[in-house]
Chain A
Amino acid sequence: MMLLKKLEDALASMDIKDATPEKILSYDLGMDSQELLCATLEMEQIFEVELGSNDLFRDMSVLDVARVISRKLALKSRVGDFDYSLCEDTMIKVPMRVVYDALFDVDTWPEKLPHVRSIEKQYDDGVFQEFDMGIDGANGALITVHSVRHCKPDRIKFFQPSPPKFLRHHCGEWILHPLSEDLTHVFTSHQWRLEDGVAAEMFPAKDGLTTADSVHSWLSEHARFALTCWKSHLEERPYHAKDNYSRTIDSSESRAGL
């Protein structure tokens, strides 16, 4: 069941009716502090997540609550004991399958993502992928990133067998949660260990920021940029509900009779 529907049902079981995504818990649904506390405990049980006292507030919308729960679920499922991690997220107004197809289909990334210049795929069996991605670096330089991915419909794991010199290890995931039929909560998470000496040279401590802080900030910026690109691309691009996204015939191909 989609997360928003499950949340609406949970609230309905507490006699809070019509909890549609845009409704505010207090103003629209009339929830007081005691009811919010009860709802929090109920949601912890239903979604099997831990919700702290600073997670849910009465001025949140039902969609905000769904987003908090979805984020808890995404963070809960992370594997590995890395020194550093980050998780950025956005909501994209297309079905989960459309987001997955776009993320999976690496061959078309240079057409969709402004910073990706080339993709050279070495392996793809529909689940595992290995490829080199050429991206724009500083001063117009081309940086090649070697990635391995493991793709399942709601989760794409990736790692870099040859990470950038300032990282000893670097991996992450794309996690997709369908909030409703046409709304997907998309997470990109990164986990890493620093190659201390090189990192200190490339990201020297300054202005009260440590090397680790600067690397974190740099990777977060890249993660947010990737999410913004995908959101912008996918929400602008029409899709056909019954077709596979990657097989959608665009209008120019239709006109050409292909």
Chain B
Amino acid sequence: MQKTTTVERLIQASPEQVYEAYWKLGEWPLVLPNILEARADYDDDVHQYFTMVADKGGQRETVRGVRIGTPYRKLEMCQFQAPPGFLLMRGEWRFEPVENGSGLGTKVIAERIFAMEDASGEAAAASMLSALLAENLLAFDKYLTGKLE
């Protein structure tokens, strides 16, 4: 059965800046220390076919997938090779402009739709994914805030 996990965070940067940071895969190893390599094998500014290598507890995990961008509003992704234990992993980031006292910010909503090989692990997987998405958002927040300071 498919499950959905959603996490959101307000980042003090414009939707254009946040979207670009997420889109440029070459920057991912700079943002997230566990990403060892990230490259777009095809990139036409709207569609990407990518390969990413992550360090998962000392093990190299290779992720292959695609991303489709709707510039500055949405970035949809799918991992054609789901992580170990998963049957499905796809989702999106949505970028919503937010006006606040500090200027223009962006509410980033990260959503993942997943399915497990073993349904009994769904609740644990949802918690783990939520934590990972929150870490990911925090890392991009720090990266972008640092760049803009």
Contact = CB atoms under 8 A, between A and B. Distances in A.
Interface of A: 79-82, 122-123, 125, 127-128, 130, 148, 150, 157, 159, 161-162, 169, 171, 193
Contact of B44 (A127, A128, A130, A159): A159
B45 A80 contact: yes
Contacts of A157: 47, 68
Interface string B48-73: 01000000000000000010111100
A128 B90 contact: yes
B78 interface: yes
A5 B73 CA distance: 31
B70 A122 contact: no
A2 to B, nearest CB: 26
Given A125-B78, A128-B66, A193 B90 contact: no
B70 A79 contact: yes
A127 B69 CA distance: 15
A128 B78 contact: yes
Contacts of A125: 78, 88, 90
B128 interface: no
A40 B66 CA distance: 41
Nearest to A80: B46
28 contacts: A79-B46, A79-B69, A79-B71, A80-B44, A80-B45, A80-B46, A82-B44, A125-B78, A125-B90, A127-B90, A128-B66, A128-B78, A128-B80, A128-B90, A130-B66, A148-B47, A148-B66, A157-B47, A157-B68, A159-B42, A159-B44, A159-B46, A159-B47, A161-B49, A162-B42, A169-B42, A169-B44, A171-B46
B45 A81 contact: yes
Contacts of B96: none
B44 A193 contact: yes
Interface of B: 41-42, 44-47, 49, 66, 68-71, 76, 78, 80, 88, 90
A157 B69 CA distance: 11
A82 B88 CA distance: 32
Nearest to B80: A123
B41 A161 contact: yes
Contacts of A150: 68, 76, 78
A130 B80 CA distance: 8
A171 B47 CA distance: 8
A151 to B, nearest CB: 11
Given A127-B78, A171-B46, 17 more contacts: A79-B46, A80-B45, A82-B44, A123-B78, A123-B80, A125-B88, A127-B90, A128-B78, A128-B90, A150-B68, A159-B46, A159-B47, A159-B49, A161-B41, A161-B66, A169-B42, A171-B44
A207 B49 CA distance: 38
Nearest to A127: B90
B79 to A, nearest CB: 9
Contacts of B47: 148, 157, 159, 171
Nearest to A159: B47
Nearest to B70: A79
A174 to B, nearest CB: 15
A79 B73 CA distance: 12
Q: Which of A80, A125, A171 has the most CB of B within 10 A?
A: A125
Contacts of B76: 150
A131 to B, nearest CB: 11
Q: Which of B47, B71, B90 has the most CB of A within 10 A?
A: B47
Contacts of A79: 46, 69-71
A171 B70 CA distance: 14
Q: Which of A127, A128, A171 has the most CB of B within 10 A?
A: A128
A161 B71 CA distance: 19
